[in-house]
Amino acid sequence: MSAAVVSAIRHRRHANPFTFRETIVRPDYLRIFRREAPLEVEIGFGKGQFLIAMAAARPQVNVIGLEIRDFLVEGVLAQAKARGLGNVFALQCNANTAIDVLFQPGEVARFYVHFPDPWFKKRHQKRRVVTPETAAIMMRLLAPGGEIHVMTDYEPIALDIRECLEGAGFVNTTGPGTFAPASTTGFTSEREDWHLSQGDPVWRMLFRKPLTSDG
């Protein structure tokens, strides 16, 4: 790799990804996947351990990863290509503003949000991936019975996400005001493995969109 390329990558890695301006256009998913299949979306996949393992084990679904950092998108696309996974697509975007353009109402079967950045400072909290606004959008984009799988290592964020999603009308599958006792997917993410190796608690939740408007 030339020094110029290395320098460009370093520059991009340190740039604040929230400052980039994007024009999001809905891709032609039928052309990309060459088939129709249930659509599952991971927001903020990081290095992609969960996304790749889950997509490899479940060839019957189409999986789309959304990530704000471009080099992570390149990394996951390279992994998918190396493993011959035709059911994986990844896209650089700020998911908070992009999902409404990327997906049509009722077409998403599952969202996954694993270890979202906590954004503790008040002025940055609007950057959180799960907010009352994005919860309402995900409700619209999910099919009836569609799911949101969540994991975090920060209890305040777990409580905030639970409040947002229960408040938006999602059914908390383990009961209102509770957390799931074990993995909701059977696949682990990098962050999850790291926290488990440190003996940290992991808060997990599985929400479902009601089948009908009256639940």
Ligand X SMILES: C[S@@+](CC[C@H](N)C(=O)[O-])C[C@H]1O[C@@H](n2cnc3c(N)ncnc32)[C@H](O)[C@@H]1O
Strand partners, 108: 39, 142
x-or-dash string of contact with ligand X, 173-212, rule CB under 6 A? ----------------xxxx--------------------
The only residue of 41, 43, 85, 142 in contact with ligand X, by rule CB under 6 A: 43
Minimum Å distance from CB 180 to ligand X? 16
How many residues touch ligand X under the rule CB under 6 A: the total is 21
Ranges within 115-154 binding ligand X (CB under 6 A): 115-117, 129
Q: Mark the segment that binds ligand X (CB under 6 A) among 5-13, 30-38, 62-70, 137-145.
A: 62-70
Q: Which is nearer to ligand X, 94 or 184 (CB)?
A: 94
Q: Mark the segment that binds ligand X (CB under 6 A) among 33-41, 44-52, 74-82, 157-165.
A: 44-52
Q: Which is nearer to ligand X, 54 or 129 (CB)?
A: 129
Q: Which amino acid is at 75?
A: G
Q: Among residues 28, 70, 100, 117, which one is catalytic?
A: 117
Joined tokens for residue 180: 């799931």
Position 162 contacts ligand X (CB under 6 A)? no
Please answer whether residues 154 and 129 qualify as being in contact, where contact means their C-beta atoms are separated by less than 8 angstroms: no
Written as one string, the DSSP assignment of 154-215 is -HHHHHHHHHHHHHTT-EETT-TT--BSS-SSS---HHHHHHHHTT---EEEEEE--SSTT-
Which residue number places its CB atom closest to ligand X?
A: 44
Catalytic residue flag (residue 117): yes
Please answer whether residues 113 and 43 qualify as being in contact, where contact means their C-beta atoms are separated by less than 8 angstroms: yes
Residue with tokens 């109402």: 105
Residue with tokens 């929400």: 207
Residue with tokens 């990309």: 32
Q: Which amino acid is at 56?
A: A
Q: Provide the annotated active-site residues.
A: 117
**Contacting positions for ligand X (CB under 6 A):** 43-46, 66-69, 72, 94-96, 114-117, 129, 189-192
